[in-house]
Structure 1
Amino acid sequence: MSGKHFNVHEVGCCIKYFIFGFNIIFWLLGVAFLSVALWAWSEKGVLSNISSITDLGGFDPVWLFLVVGGVMFVLGFAGCIGALRENSFLLKFFSVFLGIIFFLELTAGVLAFVFKDWIKDQLKFFINNNIRAYRDDIDLQNLIDFTQDYWECCGAFGPEDWNLNIYFNCTDTNLSREKCGVPFSCCTKDPAEDVINTQCGYDIRAKGENEQKTFIHTKGCVPQFEKWLQENLTVVAGIFIGIALLQIFGICLAQNLLSDIEAVRESCLFT
């Protein structure tokens, strides 16, 4: 990987060092995300037994850290080195890669709006699939508990979705103490209690629906997410617009620096 390098005073110094500083932050964040992901996998023994990755029936949250960290690491590296070394190949790679990500985000947004019912069904399938694997992975368990606690929900569309889990279902063959129950994250909070009662959901689904409402949240996470999205639409839209503007700004800066490098290259050819 090579590129022509020119005297620092021959190209836009402000743009060059702004791109470098901007991307080194993202590169360091990418390193942090990857470090957290690798640490989590080492704690679960995945690094010593790679085949265990396929053992989970649900989503492993560590994958999110790996993907986000990997993308940030590659983009940050290309932007930093490309700007510092005035390497046209790395700057083009940075610009094109960022453009592809922006296009994919835009496409995903349009498709999510057009096929919102399909997205809703896929979200239900995703949550139910993870309910089945609730006890299989501590990270997944923590993610589900956080989601149910934050949105005050239980299951994809209601507490009965926990019948999908072998520990919580109400079948006669289930010998688990958690039979016909729900995780503690489904329980309504008692302000007077300082310590979380992890057994608050035991046998709760064996009771009537009206009685259940006293102890647990009976609304599903899918409708609660839709409600949250409607209530915070301005904030969510603002975040996505801000990210999009940052990406466009990064592409413009990279293209500007590339133009400076190409201009210097051409002037050198004629001297």
Structure 2
Amino acid sequence: MGKYHPSHHVNEWIRYLLYGFNFLLWLLSIGLILVGILGIAIREDELNINSKLEFFTDPAAIIIAVAAVVFLITFFGCVGALNENCLFLRIYFILLIILFVVEIILGILVFAFSGQVKQEIDEIVQEGIRQYRTDADLTNFIDFAQRELECCGGLGGFTDWTNNRYFACPDDPNAETNVEACGVPYSCCTSSDEDIINTQCGFNIQKRFPVDAADDIYVTGCIDKFVESAQMRSFLLGFTIFGIALLQLIGIIMAFELNRELVLEKKKYTGSSDLPTN
């Protein structure tokens, strides 16, 4: 039996909007996956992911994971809308509903267990500090984050950098150390001239009290600084989250409506609600 084509009886606006939106996201996800794979390929000898902490501190792995989820969901949306495939449309809006519910649950958990969440995030940050300079992408990300947020280290502030082998501050003052011992990365340093980078401004800074160190570096930890920044930008953050949630709801509604119209159209011709999926 030939393929059933009821497209001229359904809302073409919904069909092509759904297809176009998902097609663009699908292409974007492919591009992000390629970027992530390229990043891994470039530093193949350095890559070593053995735990969840190492995964969450590897930018390439995060990009691939997120892009893969987007690729899967938008694939069903594209094919379902283009081919008027009800099975794929149902899978698409079910996946979107699951994703939407998961996001709500995560939001509630973050709000309810903010202290525990901070500790979990700090574990990830500490792992990133330990791997600083062993992973080029991670090093660039940490430097970028510390400069942009004007922060240094995790929950413990700038003294967290003693957990890195290059900046470790030994208990024995007579122990042999390298020139960067008891220091912090240059990205922790305050500077009035962004064009001039003083890579030595953080040397021996861990030996000073925070009130004194504040003259030369950012003493607030990046987790507290991020929370503070998010609170200051709560309106923009809330608007962004609302926008993403709205797009997901629109996708769910359009997929559900297109599926409903296809099923109803099939009934007109066959008296059955079972729409062919091929």
Is the shorter-chain TM-score for this pair beyond 0.5, marking a shared fold? yes
Note the aligned Cα RMSD (angstroms). Answer: 2.2
Partner of 1:26: 25
In structure 2, how many angstroms separate the alpha carbons of the residues matched to 1:128 and 1:233?
A: 26
Once the 2 structures are TM-superposed, how far is the Cα of residue 215 of structure 1 from its aligned partner?
A: 1.2
In structure 2, how many angstroms separate the alpha carbons of the residues matched to 1:87 and 1:56?
A: 38
TM-score normalised over the length of structure 2: 0.89
In the alignment, residue 130 of structure 2 is paired with which amino acid? Answer: R
Per-residue CA distance 1:210-244 (angstroms, 9 max, x = gap): 43222111111122112111101111111111111
Contact 2:53 2:124 in 1 (8 A): no
For the structure 1 residues 5 and 64, does the alpha-carbon distance in structure 2 shift closer, same or farther, using more than 3 Å as the test? farther
Aligned residue runs from structure 1 range 144-155, under 5 A: 144-155=142-153
Once the 2 structures are TM-superposed, how far is the Cα of residue 206 of structure 1 from its aligned partner?
A: 2.9
Once the 2 structures are TM-superposed, how far is the Cα of residue 203 of structure 1 from its aligned partner?
A: 2.1
Once the 2 structures are TM-superposed, how far is the Cα of residue 102 of structure 1 from its aligned partner?
A: 0.3
For the structure 1 residues 56 and 73, does the alpha-carbon distance in structure 2 shift closer, same or farther, using more than 3 Å as the test? closer
Partner of 2:242: 241
From 187, 190, 194, the counterpart of 1:188: 190
Is residue 87 from structure 1 mapped to residue 85 from structure 2 by the alignment?
yes
Once the 2 structures are TM-superposed, how far is the Cα of residue 200 of structure 1 from its aligned partner?
A: 2.2
Partner of 1:15: 14
Partner of 1:75: 73
Is residue 212 from structure 1 mapped to residue 213 from structure 2 by the alignment?
yes
Partner of 2:158: 159
Partner of 1:222: 223
Contact 2:53 2:123 in 1 (8 A): no
Once the 2 structures are TM-superposed, how far is the Cα of residue 144 of structure 1 from its aligned partner?
A: 1.1
In structure 2, how many angstroms separate the alpha carbons of the residues matched to 1:174 and 1:243?
A: 53
Once the 2 structures are TM-superposed, how far is the Cα of residue 54 of structure 1 from its aligned partner?
A: 3.2
Partner of 1:267: 268
Aligned positions, number: 265
In structure 1, how many angstroms separate the alpha carbons of the residues matched to 2:91 and 2:262?
A: 15
Aligned residue runs from structure 1 range 26-175, under 5 A: 26-45=25-44, 52-54=48-50, 58=54, 59-156=57-154, 157-171=156-170, 172=172, 173=175, 175=177
Contact 2:180 2:204 in 1 (8 A): yes
Per-residue CA distance 1:95-145 (angstroms, 9 max, x = gap): 011111100000001111111111122122221121111122111111111
**More divergent stretch after superposition (171-180 vs 64-73):** 171-180
Once the 2 structures are TM-superposed, how far is the Cα of residue 40 of structure 1 from its aligned partner?
A: 0.5
For the structure 1 residues 257 and 201, does the alpha-carbon distance in structure 2 shift closer, same or farther, using more than 3 Å as the test? same
In structure 2, how many angstroms separate the alpha carbons of the residues matched to 1:174 and 1:32?
A: 48
Runs of at least 5 residues in structure 2 that lack an aligned partner in the other structure = 273-278
- What SS is found at the alignment partner of 1:53? coil
In structure 2, how many angstroms separate the alpha carbons of the residues matched to 1:13 and 1:72?
A: 24
TM-score normalised over the length of structure 1: 0.91
In the alignment, residue 77 of structure 2 is paired with which amino acid? Answer: G
In structure 2, how many angstroms separate the alpha carbons of the residues matched to 1:259 and 1:252?
A: 10
Contact 1:57 1:133 in 2 (8 A): no
Contact 1:10 1:264 in 2 (8 A): yes
In the alignment, residue 163 of structure 1 is paired with which amino acid? Answer: T
Once the 2 structures are TM-superposed, how far is the Cα of residue 63 of structure 1 from its aligned partner?
A: 1.6
